[in-house]
Every structure is written in C-alpha cells, then in structure tokens.
Structure 1
Amino acid sequence: MNIRVIILLFCLIVLVDGKKIHRFRLQRRSHRHHKIPHPHLHLQFRNALRRKYGYTPLRTVNAVNVTSEPGKGAVLVEPLINSYDTNFFGVVSLGDQPFTMQFDTGSSDFWVPSSHCRFCIKQCGNKFFRESKSKSFRSSGTPFSITYGSGSVKGMVASDNVSFGDLKIQNQGIGLVNISDSCSVFDGIAGFAFQQLSMTKSVPPFQQMIDQQLVEQPIFSFHLKSGSSDGGSMILGGSNSSLYYGPLTYTNVTEAKYWTFKMDFIKVHGKGSRHCKSGCKAIMDTGTSLNVGPVLEVLHLCNDIGAVYNDTYKLYTVDCASIPQLPILVFGIAGKEFYVKPQTYVIMYANLCFVGLMDLLGLDHWIIGDVFMRENYVEFDWARRRMGIAPAV
C-alpha cells in the first residue's frame, strides 16, 4: 500500500459555544507503511526517547558520520527514524515562510532548519529558513541543543514573527538548526509544553499567544483522527464539544514542565490484572507515536493481549489477521476508563503488525502518545494546569 500523506494547509476560525476559537487543520502520514522496517528501528526510537526524557542512550548502531559543513564538525546519523509514520503535522509560517511542523506537547521550543544545515537540506529535503527574506528576524547569537523523540538538533537562538493561520505571534523565540542527526517528515517542531522545559530559554508559542491576547481562552486541544482523509485538528483558544462524546474528565497537571498527570491504571479489557494499579506518573506527549512504559508492565500487557516478542525488532507483534479479535486497552484516568481499540494500537508495516506499546529500560512512568490520542480527545488547560479527556468522535 502506498504511503498516504494528507496535507491540509489552512486554519479555520469557528464559533464554538458562542466563543471564537481557531481550528488548525492537521496533516497525517499513514502508519500503514509499505516497506519492512529496518531491524535497528527499535533501538533508534528508544535512544531518541531516552535522550528526550533524560536517560542515557543505549549503544549506537548503524551510524555514519556526515559533515554538516567543511571544517565545522560532524553529526551522528541514525537513519529510518520517523516515529513509525504516525505523527501529525501542520503548516506554520515563520517570517512569512511556510514550514511543516510537528506540534509536540513533550517539548517547549520552536525550531526550523537554517540555511547552514546541509544535512537537513540535502539529505532530508527539509525546507530551511532564509534570514535575509524576513524583515522581522533578529539573531541573538546564543547557541542551543535539544533532544527529541525523533533525534537531536543544535543551532543558534533567534526571534521572528510566527503565524499559526491568522494567529500571528510577534517576536517569538526560535531555534535555527545548523546540525541535525536524523531526518523526519516534518521541517521543525513547535513545542507546547511549559517554559521550564525550554532549551532555548524562550517563552513557548502558546504562552506567547496568551500574553499577546491572541486566543479567547488559555486552552488548546487536540483531535487526532485514525484511518480518515485528514489528520484531525489542533484547536487554539478553547475546545470543540462536537468533536468528543460526553463531558470532559479533568486530571490535574502534577508538574508544570511536561504535561504530567497521575494515571490510575492500565489494563487489557477482560484479561489479566491492572498495571500501575496504585497509580503512577504519566506524561501526555503528542510528539511520541506509541505508548511507552516500564519493561515489566509492557511485558505483562503484551502477554495479556496475546502478542509475542519479536527478537529481530525488539518489539511485540501479533498476527495481522487477528486484529479484529484482539482485546481493547483500558486506561484509568481521574476515576474514568478510556479505551483504545486494537485497530488503533496495532501498527502495520507490510506483513508485520506491531503492538503500539514499547518498553524503555529504566523508565518508571508512562508516556502516553498518539496511539491513545487517536481514540481520545484531549484539552490542555494552560492556566488551570489540567487536562480534559473524553472519547473522540
């Protein structure tokens, strides 16, 4: 099956519950990949997550040195990292230049490639920022380095105007990337976590929207779609009750750095016992495709699902023909149960079907990624430091 890349490049202004909000259309790259993944994909993805969340990476594999610029150092390249082709993106303008951006609640910075990132341009085919074409561009000369679930980047801090559709942020702090160690289907990242996490020491984009009074409410929301003709939407300035069923269930943010909360439990419906049954720390991260957890908990959950460990890929797999008969995953949050169907949590690569649960050695909490959010609408309330969750339409 060919990879389907759905690109919707516009932002809609709509009235919801009598209030003006901004519905920003997302694009989705299908996870139904037509190629068999590289055997080292699991290690690259795990290492990227380990770096993102402050753990020491495991051994590096299949790496080559690529010179970014003659005489100006090298980057370590680990190919084939695209987070299983299940990320969601949108187009944002920086200095009136459009870029395809990943919206990441697991980071706080805004960055794009600069004209000096030869690897980004020649190897990855990313768009790059042309400083000379923006009258509002300002450079600080301060260096930065950031690690994400898809790799790491280095460059210089600057500022410019950033537009999310018709929402124009003045003097947004940005990172211009000179060195990157991996390719992605997006050009850059727009972080939606709190400022404490910022590696460029910049005010995050959504905090800027609030400070500059660009949004009606200090709230943004994600409605991610599975198996549809578009990727869903990110809503800036509120929520849209037509995109979810019933009332939102709220859970407080326990640490205003990541969107951290207490998860009551996770289990397989009708089988086995609850895991994280006394409650555990979890992070809601739109920049991570899978649900990632402690080794033993992932092992027991996958056993309850009926998945088997694939030693080549170091991931759990199921028979693709069995997907309709597999059990539902249940997440307990704030006293309510939220569900993820097997058609959503199984990632298909040609004739290989991986369970969207990954273990991470040393991890003592859960990272709740797009596998969960493709079934559940999530509202992020910046001012009240809480999240509202409901089954998505």
Structure 2
Amino acid sequence: MRHSYLFWAVGLLVLTCSLVAASSDGLVRIGLKKRPLDLHGIKAARMSRMQGKYGRGVNGVHDKKSEGDIIALKNYMDAQYFGEIGVGSPQQKFTVIFDTGSSNLWVPSSKCIFSIACLFHSKYKHAKSTTYQKNGKTIAIQYGSGAVSGFLSQDNIRVGDLLVKDQLFMEATKEGSLTFVAAQFDGILGLGFQEISVGNVVPVWYNMMEQGLVKEKVFSFWLNRDATATEGGELVLGGVDSKHFKGEHTKVSVTQKGYWQFMMDDFLIGNYSTEHVGSSL
C-alpha cells in the first residue's frame, strides 16, 4: 500500500510560491517529480550531509487542465525539491530550491567571477532585462551548509504563469561552500517569514499575497513516499487538496514567528511513541 504524507500550513502571513492556472476549486497545484539518482547525485548528497542540513524547497507547476503546461518539481535524495523560475524581461531561467527555513530569493550574478559554483550555474545579467531596477545594497546570507553574498536588485519574477512585479532579490557574487558547487540548483527562493529575511527584504510569497495573486494565505504539501512512483508529490497553493488526506486538520500556532515550528506532545510511527514529548518540530 502506498504511504503518503500531507504537510499543511495556514497563513499567519506566508508561504510558498510558483503557480500555473488555478483549477476550478481555486487551488493551484504544483506537481512534484522524482528524479533518478546517479553517481554525481550521490556524491553531492554526501557532501551536503557532511556540511550540515541544507535547503528543502519546491517548485514547479501542475495545471490539471493542460498536461502540456507543467513545471515539474524535482525530488533530489528526498532533501531538495526544486524547479524553474524566470527573472527579468525577457525571462532568464533559473533552477531554484524552495526553502521553508529561509526567506530571501537569490540567484547567481553575471558579476560572480571568482566563485567556482558560479561557473557551473546560470547567471543573471541585469543589463539584458528591461524591467531591472538598481538597488545595490550589499547583503550576506548564512545557511547551515555555507554562506552566499552579493547585492540587491529589483526585477519581475515569474513562477509558472504567476508574475510577481518589482521583487527585491540578491544577485550572488560569492558562494562560499562546496555544497553550492555540486548543487542541482542555481539559487534559493525562501518561503519563511519576513522576520528572518536578511536585509528585511519582502519575501516573494508576501508580494504574491500583496499583489492579489493567490486566493488564500494557505499552502500544503503532499509527498509521495512510494519510491517506485514517477510522481514525487504535489504542492498546492491557496488551500488543501482533499484527495490527499482523511479526517480533520488541527490548527496550531508557531512557537517562534520566523520559522514554521510548533510544539508537539508526541508523534507515533505505526503504533509506537517516539517519546519526543515537549519538543519542537
């Protein structure tokens, strides 16, 4: 029997990104795709584990009305979920992780010439975008697996059919970790609260809500745990897909505004307690 899990979050202000056309029930569905592993992938995953936890995120879009209009999320070692976004006019394409543990968007800059990681990934050329606006403020973002630094710029961001206008993001000019060299993604799009946004930059998801691009301040994940299935799961923006759960949801408050964490009395694996009483998840 296939086992699958649904992670559900209600907006306190935030969450997700990427879209295609909304379905008749008002939900935006993003298909998650599993990616076959190869030796390069295994090596990268080992490097990531050695250097600490890295991002999990997501993107891709699944339009139920048109199978030809899909931005697939890639599942990498059950640790990274990533997909494609467009930056600027005309669009410059980047593969990004959607990370719930951070809040900034960054992509490599064409001015990144001394970091090895930038040699292996797409780079943003702001001179080629007609909607680019200069900011120039320098910032640095620290992750568990390394730091990236650069300067802020403003441009339009497209995820699926959703266009976020005048979004501030970082053009990375330095990526200081081997994790980024072997990464399957170019950059990161954070889904956390603005409270943890470096430089107090308004996150992409906040601007989606502010610009009226989503129906509800809710997103949910369904992750397919069947290792043989080609469908990795689904990210739903604007609600919860009733096909992937039974019963009722329980709403809880986060314990710290900034991260998607909450208190748990316990959780079970099968019928066995893990005895994680009073811990935060």
Q: Distance in 1 between matches of 2:159 and 2:232?
A: 17
Any stretches of 5+ residues in structure 1 without a counterpart?
1-8, 53-81, 283-393
Contact 1:29 1:88 in 2 (8 A): no
Return closer, same or farther for 1:250/1:97 CA change in 2, 3 Å cut-off.
same
What root-mean-square deviation, in Å, do the aligned CA atoms of Structure 1 and Structure 2 show?
3.0
* Cα distance between partner residues in 2 of 1:10 and 1:207: 14
What do the CA deviations read for 1:316-369 (whole angstroms, capped 9, x no partner)? Answer: xxxxxxxxxxxxxxxxxxxxxxxxxxxxxxxxxxxxxxxxxxxxxxxxxxxxxx
What CA distance in whole angstroms lies between the structure 2 residues aligned with 1:175 and 1:221? 27
The alpha carbon displacement at 1:274 in A equals: 3.7
Work out which of the residue numbers 29, 32, 42 in structure 2 matches 1:23.
29
Match of 1:156 in 2: 151
Alpha-carbon distance change, 26 to 163 in structure 1, aligned in 2, over 3 angstroms: farther
CA shift in 2, pair 1:167/1:213, >3 Å: same
* Gap change, CA 1:224 and 1:151, over 3 Å in 2: farther
- Normalising by structure 1, we get a TM-score of 0.54
The unaligned stretches of length 5 or more in structure 2 are 1-17, 56-74
Q: Quick check: 1:275 aligned with 2:281?
A: no
Matched residue count: 235
Comparing both chains, which one has the higher relative contact order based on Cα–Cα distances under 8 Å and sequence gaps of 6 or more? 2
Structure number having the greater strand percentage: 1
1:117 aligns with 2:121: no
Contact 2:19 2:28 in 1 (8 A): no
What residue in structure 2 maps to residue 11 of structure 1? 20
Q: Report SS of the residue matched to 1:231.
A: strand
Q: Secondary structure at the match of 1:245?
A: coil
Contact map agreement 2:193 2:258 (CA 8 A) in 1:
yes
Partner of 2:191: 192
Identity %: 32
| Cα shift at 1:150 | 4.3
Counterparts in 2 of 1:28 and 1:190: CA distance versus 1, 3 Å: farther
- Partner residue in 2 for 1:303: none
| Distance change (3 Å), C-alpha of 1:179 and 1:92 | same
In 1, Cα distance between equivalents of 2:246 and 2:39: 34
Match of 1:231 in 2: 232
**Aligned 1:307-326 pairs, distance under 5 A:** none
Q: Is the 8 A contact 1:83 1:150 kept in 2?
A: no
2:133 to 126, 133, 138: 138
Match of 1:106 in 2: 101
Structure 2 distance, partners of 1:237, 1:10, is 10
Aligned twin of 1:89 = 82
Deviations 1:55-78 (A, max 9, x none): xxxxxxxxxxxxxxxxxxxxxxxx
Deviation string, structure 1 residues 203-234 (Cα, Å, up to 9, x no partner): 11111111111111111222223432133232
2-structure distance, mates of 1:133, 1:233: 34
Change beyond 3 A, Cα 1:106–1:270: same
Question: 2: distance between equivalents of 1:150 and 1:28?
Answer: 23
Secondary structure of residue in 2 paired with 1:176: strand
Name the SS of the counterpart of 2:188 in structure 1: strand
Specify the SS of the correspondent of 2:82. strand
Correspondence for 2:121 among 121, 126, 130: 126
Query: How far apart are the structure 2 equivalents of 1:214 and 1:242?
Result: 24
Q: C-alpha separation between the residues in 2 aligned to 1:25 and 1:268?
A: 27
Shift of 1:196: 0.6
Q: Identify the range of structure 1 (82-91 vs 241-250) with the bigger mean alpha-carbon deviation.
A: 82-91
Residues 167/224 of structure 1: CA separation in 2 closer, same or farther (3 Å cut): same
TM-score (norm 2): 0.73
Looking at structure 2, the residues matched to 173 and 200 of structure 1 have their Cα atoms a distance apart, in angstroms, of 10
Residues 35/100 of structure 1: CA separation in 2 closer, same or farther (3 Å cut): closer
Which of the two has higher C-alpha Rg?
A: 1
Q: Secondary structure at the match of 1:15?
A: coil
How many angstroms does 1:34 deviate by?
Answer: 4.7
Structure 1 residue 83 displacement after superposition: 7.8
Specify the alignment match of 2:243 in structure 1.
242
Aligned residue in 2 for 1:213: 212
2: CA distance, partners of 1:170 / 1:268: 44
User: Match of 1:15, as an amino acid?
Assistant: S
